[in-house]
Structure 1
Amino acid sequence: MPASPLDSAMFRELFGDAEAGRLFTDTAEVRAMLLVEGALAKAQGGLGVIPEVSAAFLHRACHEVQIDPAGLAAQTGNDAVCVPALVAATRKALEAPEHAQYLHWGATSQDIMDTALILRLRQALAICEARLVVTVTALGQLAQAHAGTPMTGRTYGQAATPTSFGAVVASWGMPLIRHLERLNELRPRLLTVSLSGAAGTLGAMGEKGPEVRAELARLLGLADPGASWHATRDGIAECAGWLAGVSATLGKLGEDLVTLTQSGIEEIALPTGGGSSTMPQKVNPVAPSLLVALARQAVGLNANVQGAAVHQAQRDATAWLVEWMSLPQLVLGTARGLAVALALAEGIAPRTDRMLETLEGGLGLIHAEALSFLLAREMPRPEAQAAVKALAKEARATGTPLAELAAQRWPGTDWAAALAPEAQLGQAPAEARAFAAMAAALPRPS
């Protein structure tokens, strides 16, 4: 097993996400950092912090220069940050020392790396948002189509009372709608530039520092935080929490699908399945299992990022390094989970025959609660519960269906109709249709 299965040549089709993965390569990071350096020079040139002619040269050159990330490895291994090596390599490549001297003027490594990270997180979150919307749309259509399709509701792994498949689908989709709402709320807090200088004071830029930061934000399409966030990582931590929350919701979807495709239940058909090396009959629920695994992995990665939010003093290299090792994996795992969930949402199909068979099996004991409430109209509730509990025991002992025993004990009522699954769905169909309406009304990402 490779150290990072997310970009493994062998495991990339299982764990990897090519679209999001392109944002977290060495090349992507170098390009993003050079974009920040070029925008910083342009902002400083326009405000007279550095010569305007040098600013124009640097802005253009940072878009054109090619820096090999591998060439930065030795110095990065020594410095722990890659920006000193990048700045040195870029100055050398430009072959214009009179202009190159102004590259990275008054900034610090964390300014460049954090802002470059935010640029890539912006794109990654856009990918996640687009997949979320399409997934919710597909789930909404499924919920609408099966709002009144009865199935067994389960608690503690046991049959409880009837529900509808549409309501189950809504339970998968409603949290995803809330995650979309949370994403819109966190974006303004997260998508900000970092420009604070060595100890967060912007001292090297003098009085022009705040103006430079505001102009840098404008040029990059980000917000100006108005202060340093070198050691205040609440925005990053909030983003990590959001990613972990999405993964957890997808993990719930995965867990339910593993259960519903289980041998002996088989109430859901998956669009695809995995094979076994030795058992020809196996069609394993690989995609749902992957969602569960990614959700559990996200818990640990998120814990690392939350712990890394405890920064020491004005800058903390130790906490920052933990963030580097955890956040990209969390982003890519969540993106992969969303791609898997989207394929499932568009391809899963309920096996209504099996759902009905399960409901009709078990001697009809799934209707015990409904029977007790119907009887409670004629007798005190405790007596009704005791009577039904005794009847359930008799059903198990004699193999007689609950509705048949009820007809013998309390004749004159069509208990078969009263205890039909369709009569016991409660608010399940309404919840399914309400979710479907919300899903259909979602705005599409631009």
Structure 2
Amino acid sequence: MSATPFDSAHLHRVFPAGDLARLFSDSAEVRAIMIVAGTLAKVQGEVGLIPETAAKAIHRASLELQIDPGALAKGTAEAGSVVPPLLAAFETLMQAPDYARYLGEGALPGDLQDCALALRLRQVLAQFEAGLSGLAAEGELASLAAELPALRAALLCVSYDGAGAETLRPALAAALNLGAEGWGADRSPIDALAGWAARLVTALSERAEANAPLAALAIHARALSATLRSVPGSQHARRDLESLTLPQLLLATGAALSLATAR
């Protein structure tokens, strides 16, 4: 038995999360944070907060550089976040200290992580919508599909409370094609997503009677949702809890949709 069935060599077809699993890989997170950091530098340069030459160099590097997630393990453990060691590795790889010193200027690590998560959640919600569109939209499923626009509005936004936030937040939002009001310390949009996902998996399980994998996924999703929503966003352990629960919950939801549409 592997730590998670979603990337297990022999269980992944029983619980088929499919392409969704790639969105929660280490490489996907690192790439998303680099995109956010590069885009932040770009807009900071446009409004004159950092030199435009540095902004262009950082933005270009964010699209070209490759960072090994495994090399960030020690720094992540020390900092409690992947962002500080990632930015340090980014600066080193740029080999342009006069420009690289502006990387992440004024930004909070949590904001960069949340913006990067929003980018990935955009793809997650698109996959969920596509999965639901392949099913008969009736009863609970129709109701859940109708909630997707509100979930998008709440989740797909930038979080930025660093230096120059009043100017930079809308500019960063426009550049990333996200809303301008991120959740930040208020994790209620994540809680709403967790509750929605658990209800969806439960509805899919009830719709497909006697499907053991779907029934197991429904129990799993409800437990993960309850665990996540039991800890307020203001508590220090909340981000670590999200790391433990949110990917598994969303992969369980993707697997349930795959099973339901395959019937």
Give the TM-score band, short-chain normalised.
Answer: over 0.9
Matching residue of 2:172: 216
Work out the percentage of aligned pairs sharing the same amino acid.
40
Matching residue of 2:198: 244
Q: CA deviation at 1:78?
A: 2.0
Supply the distance in 2 between the matched residues of 1:100 and 1:250 (Cα, whole angstroms).
Answer: 49
Structure 2: state its 5+ residue gaps: none
Supply the distance in 2 between the matched residues of 1:230 and 1:175 (Cα, whole angstroms).
Answer: 30
Matching residue of 1:57: 57
Look up the equivalent residue of 2:3 and give its one-letter code: A
CA contact (8 A) 1:38 1:60 kept: yes
Matching residue of 1:342: 261
Matching residue of 2:40: 40
Matching residue of 1:181: 146
CA contact (8 A) 1:192 1:217 kept: yes
TM-score (normalizing by structure 1): 0.58
Supply the distance in 1 between the matched residues of 2:127 and 2:44 (Cα, whole angstroms).
Answer: 32
TM-score (normalizing by structure 2): 0.96
Supply the distance in 1 between the matched residues of 2:28 and 2:106 (Cα, whole angstroms).
Answer: 24
Q: Deviations over 1:18-46 (max 9, x none)?
A: 21011000000010000000110011111
CA contact (8 A) 1:298 1:330 kept: yes
Matching residue of 1:374: none
Supply the distance in 2 between the matched residues of 1:331 and 1:311 (Cα, whole angstroms).
Answer: 19
CA contact (8 A) 1:183 1:242 kept: no
Paired residues for 1:338-417 under 5 Å: 338-344=257-263
Supply the distance in 1 between the matched residues of 2:16 and 2:39 (Cα, whole angstroms).
Answer: 32
Matching residue of 1:127: 127
Matching residue of 1:17: 17
Matching residue of 1:91: 91
Supply the distance in 2 between the matched residues of 1:212 and 1:291 (Cα, whole angstroms).
Answer: 44
Structure 1: state its 5+ residue gaps: 138-172, 197-201, 259-287, 345-446
Supply the distance in 2 between the matched residues of 1:9 and 1:112 (Cα, whole angstroms).
Answer: 33
CA contact (8 A) 2:134 2:261 kept: yes
1:300 corresponds to 2:256: no
Look up the equivalent residue of 1:61 and give its one-letter code: A
Q: Deviations over 1:152-209 (max 9, x none)?
A: xxxxxxxxxxxxxxxxxxxxx321111110111221111111111xxxxx3xx2xx32
Matching residue of 1:277: none
Q: CA deviation at 1:311?
A: 3.1
- Work out which of the residue numbers 142, 155, 162 in structure 2 matches 1:190: 155
Supply the distance in 2 between the matched residues of 1:86 and 1:32 (Cα, whole angstroms).
Answer: 11
Q: Deviations over 1:388-411 (max 9, x none)?
A: xxxxxxxxxxxxxxxxxxxxxxxx
Q: CA deviation at 1:77?
A: 1.8
Q: Write out the 4+ residue segments of structure 1 that deviate beyond 6 Å after TM superposition.
A: none
Q: Specify the SS of the correspondent of 2:2.
A: coil
Q: CA deviation at 1:96?
A: 0.3
Q: CA deviation at 1:214?
A: 0.6
State how many pairs are aligned: 263
Q: Specify the SS of the correspondent of 1:14.
A: coil
> Which stretch has the larger CA shift, 8-17 or 240-249?
8-17
Supply the distance in 2 between the matched residues of 1:311 and 1:122 (Cα, whole angstroms).
Answer: 21
Q: CA deviation at 1:289?
A: 1.2
Matching residue of 1:79: 79
Q: Deviations over 1:74-113 (max 9, x none)?
A: 1112222101110010000000000000001111110111
Max Rg structure: 1
Q: CA deviation at 1:298?
A: 0.4
Q: CA deviation at 1:14?
A: 1.4
Supply the distance in 2 between the matched residues of 1:14 and 1:78 (Cα, whole angstroms).
Answer: 37
CA contact (8 A) 1:304 1:323 kept: no
Q: 1:185 to 1:230 in 2, by over 3 A?
A: closer
Q: CA deviation at 1:253?
A: 1.5
